Chain A
Amino acid sequence: MSTVEELQKKVRELEAKLAAVQGNVAPVRQKIDVMSAEVVDSNPYSRLMALKRMGIVDNYEKIRELSVAVVGVGGVGSVTAEMLTRCGIGKLILFDYDKVELANMNRLFFQPHQAGLSKVDAAAATLQAINPDVTIDAHNYNITTVDNFQKFCDTISTGSLTGGPVNLVLSCVDNFEARMAINTACNELSQNWFESGVSENAVSGHIQFIAPGETACFACAPPLVVASNIDEKTLKRDGVCAASLPTTMGIVAGFLVQNALKYLLGFGTVTYYLGYSALTDFFPTMCLKPNPQCSDSQCVVRQKEARARPPPVELAAEVCEDARPLHADNSWGICLIDENAPEEEDSSNLRLAEGVQVAYSVALDSSTESSTGGAVAASELSLEDLMAQMKAM
């Protein structure tokens, strides 16, 4: 027999599920048509609109017209979505194919009663209750498969409040494959986006702004990692794939949304790359020039377009000044984004800020340690024959 407590818990879970299914999670407030700057207890936007009076943001209410896609609604993405919701973003488009699990409870946002629900549906319900003014569009699928990828691209390019491309894509995924899929889509669509990530040992993270053709894309270099100053050999991986901390994820989500807001509302300076090492409280920043030999052909096309465009965006000019000291003693090759300047150094080299390194090096030379086997010869057999031959083995 179940105890009363267990039964009560079950009732709560079922009620939550029922509410989610019926879509009758009653908003605690009515929708608000126009953001008011009036300072009264009942105005959810008064402290945000105060940014205007303080001279930080010129046009805060513009946020109501903007659309942002959040890809991955896990430890970073869910917090990112909540921050944008509380800021009154016009439309949020969420992508994830995972379910909420109790193992996620060391992170923020999701609650135990949501275990078993899809992350996007659970998040949409919570976010809608927090702010009914936000239009929320939830997509529950894996973007890396062929069919879904097309749906993903279509949603990014037509998902805004006005039926056009979204204003910004925020990558909050936890794996290389999904990051590459977002990179491929954004290069094809000329869509600006932020990449974000937290290391598998939970003690470092980063955000990176990617404007296709103007800054390095995710495929321009091997993945960047913030040095953790942990000897890899002493790093115990036995029995686990990944660790996570709500702190690191919350910090990275905060950096991500802060820079997203600066980009969307045009205040302050958008950081191109911001790293975070939790063990030493170290925050490297830099900006990265695209790799002319990037393996993504669409990135190379975007680079050509960027070079053909008249003088660079002012965003880049500002950042370059800030970034200059970082490059002073750096022999690698990062870049200031100035499309007018002639190529000065070998641009296939990356100039990374101190404390940031590539996860691994990729030799341009084709001979590698384990590739000594002969190449596949062009086959006379048809694909069907080969499939049949394999099946008959």
Chain B
Amino acid sequence: MVDESTKKTLSSIPLLQTKAGPRDKELWVNRLKEEYQALIKYVQNNKAADNDWFRLESDKTGTRWFGKCWYVHNLLKYEFDLEFDIPVTYPTTAPEIALPGLDGKTAKMYRGGKICLTDHFKPLWARNVPKFGIAHAMALGLGPWLAVEIPDLIEKGVITYQEKTEEAK
């Protein structure tokens, strides 16, 4: 199941209340506000715990999200572009987070660089509709994925450290 530290991280992210998807007009705006509040809190928590690991922003409609995530391995920071669309069936179905830069570099991905989530993710998400939002998908989906896959990809030499990411520090 979900490990203790992920559980703790999850429990400190505020839950959302509005069950609304991108086709729900005004309700979607409420949902988006909740999404942003939860994300802001999550990033603040991460910073406080010295574990800041992503930035996200959306277009005006809140249906297209993009940003960066990074992973520190042997004191080097590896950074990746991150993107996803909010599907019409959200929040019943979770967003499919993609790292297009790693598309084709690992088998733990679907087309377009969508990360392959564990068997635990979908049941947990389904049990928590509509309380889980994007912040939870990051904490429960992308976070653990990076922790498992990135060290492996570095070891295999599939991804290499790039100097310019230093500037971002």
Contact = CB atoms under 8 A, between A and B. Distances in A.
For the residues of A in contact with B, the DSSP-based class is: loop
B167 to A, nearest CB: 18
A282 B33 CA distance: 49
B107 interface: yes
B96 A177 contact: yes
Nearest to A389: B40
B137 interface: no
B85 interface: yes
B137 to A, nearest CB: 13
Interface string A30-64: 00000000000000000000000000000000000
B56 interface: yes
A228 interface: no
Contacts, number: 135
A255 to B, nearest CB: 25
A164 interface: no
Contacts of B69: none
Interface in A203-245: 219, 222, 232, 237, 239-241
Given A373-B10, A373-B15, A375-B16, A177 B89 contact: yes
A377 B92 CA distance: 21
Contacts of B58: 387
A181 B127 CA distance: 19
Contacts of A239: 107-108
A149 B88 contact: yes
Interface string A349-393: 000000000011111001011111111110101110011011101
A232 B1 CA distance: 13
Contact of A390 (B36, B88, B124): B36
B37 A362 contact: no
Contacts of A360: 122-123, 126-127
B11 interface: yes
A393 B108 contact: no
Interface of B: 2, 7, 10-17, 22-23, 29, 32-34, 36-40, 43-44, 47, 55-58, 61-63, 85-89, 92-93, 96, 107-111, 116, 119, 122-124, 126-129, 131-132
22 contacts: A142-B85, A145-B88, A175-B110, A177-B96, A180-B89, A180-B93, A181-B89, A222-B123, A239-B107, A239-B108, A240-B107, A361-B123, A370-B11, A373-B12, A376-B14, A376-B34, A379-B33, A383-B36, A387-B36, A390-B57, A391-B57, A393-B43
